[in-house]
Amino acid sequence: TTYAMKPIDLYQLVGSIIKAMEPIILKKKLMELNLSLESKIEQEINKIKSILDAQDNIIIVTNKEEITNVNKKFLDFFGIDDFNKFIKSKKDIFNFFKEEFGFISKEQISKQESWIKYIKDLHEIDRIVKIKGASLEEKIFAINVDYYENKDDYYVLEYPNWVNAVA
């Protein structure tokens, strides 16, 4: 609330109006900046998503605890329509690994303190998994693990399609 003394001093009145309007103007500018920032973040997320989707291999981004992102090849292979529903279902990617001699299995990984380290420490020829997709076709993949240091640690697991297996 602003009071003006009589007789009204025009300069004082204008100063009081400006003072009263300043928080409203600043709030409006802040809202515009937030909208602009949200738009830029969304553009960057879409850019990263399109880069992931352009890959020929199945790509999984994880922070060791959970899957944070996947590409279209992953969704298509596993017949997943909605990534968020998949994450909420708490399905373990290792459940899709076939238990078969010569391939990395869920049982092997579950015994490890750090499954990422376990896979990274394996020789390239031993980083092989057999996975059954939504079409029930079994495929053999070699796992590549790349590490990206950021505020949080992120790992990118790449599953290049190695060879088709007999279903």
**Residue 12 φ/ψ, nearest 5 degrees:** -65, -40
* b/e sequence 136-164, b meaning 16+ C-beta within 10 Å: eeebbbbbbbeeeeeeeebbebbbeeeee
Residue found under tokens 């992953």: 74
Cα three-residue angle 92-71-123, rounded to 5 degrees = 65
Instruction: Look at residue 167 and tell me whether its pLDDT is greater than 50.
Output: no
Task: Output the pTM of the full model.
Answer: 0.65
Host H or E run for residue 140 = strand 138-142
Q: What is the pLDDT of residues 103-135, one digit of tens each?
A: 998 888 888 888 888 888 888 888 888 988 888
